[in-house]
Structure 1
Amino acid sequence: MVKLYALNVLYKGLHSGVWLKSSYDLQTIGFFQRGSVQEFMGFVSKTIVERTQTATRQSVKEGEYMCHVFVRGDNLAGVVISNHEYPHRVAHTLLTKVLDDFASKVPANVWPTATENSIDFHDLPVYLSKYQNPHEADPMTKIQDEIEETKIILHQTIGAVLERGEKLDDLVMKSESLSMQSKAFYKTARKTNSCCSYVG
């Protein structure tokens, strides 16, 4: 079954990613795990944006998940988290559309210092819902044709995206954005290699 779990918009700052907007669809994930899974998806989204070069597209495979990222030339960035069945090209079409829409409604001068609550952009859940079925979303669009001509870098694990010497385990433990509960959940998931294997 094809599935989209998350759609996030960030700004790639000089030293860190800035959260602008996010939307999640985690109904297929166990109720008690949703909070931790959402925190990890946010953590992974920010980590990947911070380590993706400007004007680059990447798709990062990790466990049962795919993290698709696009950082535009103006450092506006989008992340889609899907399962493996979801077509890469459609995920990148979605990212292009969302970022174009966002940029047309939210002025660029506020991106570097904005908070998620201060941004007036409520279309992410609509996009996330519409694109759950990639065949209905946009069978053939001009954007898809443009993406065909753009190289999407595919990585087999998130480790390939991290800087030399960096380990995801260390980043997780140092992270201030993850709760103690989520860090414990991550450790357990790493041991059992389940549910959150996408962050390993």
Structure 2
Amino acid sequence: MKLLSVIFLRQIPGQAPVMLSTHYELGQFGFWQRGGAQEICTFASREVVHRSKQALMSVKHKEFLCHCRVLDSRLAVVAVCDEEYPVYVAFNLMKEALELFLKKYKEDAWSSPTTDQNLPLPGMDELIKKYQDPTEADKILKIKKDLDETKEIVMKTMDQLLERGEKLDNLIDLSNDLSFQS
């Protein structure tokens, strides 16, 4: 489960969206592959926002999913993840990222550019690191993971107890046989 990028764009009707802020986590790719992966994330994000008319949507592109959220003000955020990444965790990430962006930049700062920008967004790298492991970022997934681990431990313990119980039954049978023979 990997999160590859979070990209903020301004949707302009009839034109290509304008990039406002881009954040990538491409460590899973080799050095020579990162440029291509970044281009794919950028292209897919721009296309999804350009074709998006609704507030929330997810689009599959090869083995990746592009999750998009467009506000009424035409500010959009796209999270590009692999297929295994939970959808609701991606939407939670986008919600937090939008809050961070809107806290830093008022509408007049991002609504006027007509060319791509790369507005710095302090705290975004930490947010991406937090969401790299969805089980740590999402409380429900974390609880589910803990329950699964606990269930596995209980099952192993029960199996071990049953084995001991079988061994005790065998010893009792042997003891009864010895008593009968004597």
State the shift of 1:28 in Å: 1.2
Q: Counterparts of 1:123 and 1:12 in 2: how far apart (Å)?
A: 24
TM-score, scaled relative to structure 2: 0.70
The one-letter code matched in structure 2 to 1:128 is I
Q: After superposition, give the CA deviation of every residue in 1:2-45 in whole Å (9 maximum; x if it has no partner).
A: 11011111111222211111111111112212112201210110
Maintained 8 Å contact 2:8/2:22: yes
Q: Counterparts of 2:78 and 2:106 in 1: how far apart (Å)?
A: 20
* 1:44 equivalent in alignment to 2:11: no
- Identity fraction in percent: 34
Instruction: Pick the structure with greater CA Rg.
Output: 2
1:146 aligns with: none
The CA RMSD over aligned residues, in Å, is 1.5
Q: Counterparts of 2:138 and 2:107 in 1: how far apart (Å)?
A: 27
* 3-state SS of 2:53 partner: coil
5+ unaligned residues in a row in structure 2: which ranges?
141-182
Q: Counterparts of 1:61 and 1:40 in 2: how far apart (Å)?
A: 13
* 3-state SS of 1:21 partner: strand
TM-score, scaled relative to structure 1: 0.64
* 1:17 equivalent in alignment to 2:17: yes
Maintained 8 Å contact 1:6/1:81: yes
Higher helix fraction: Structure 1 or Structure 2? 2
5+ unaligned residues in a row in structure 1: which ranges?
141-200
* 1:101 equivalent in alignment to 2:67: no
Maintained 8 Å contact 2:9/2:17: yes
Q: Counterparts of 1:18 and 1:113 in 2: how far apart (Å)?
A: 10
Q: Counterparts of 2:63 and 2:120 in 1: how far apart (Å)?
A: 33
Q: Counterparts of 2:120 and 2:35 in 1: how far apart (Å)?
A: 24
State the shift of 1:101 in Å: 1.7
Q: Counterparts of 1:100 and 1:137 in 2: how far apart (Å)?
A: 16
Higher relative contact order (CA 8 A, sep 6+): 1
Report the count of equivalent residues.
137
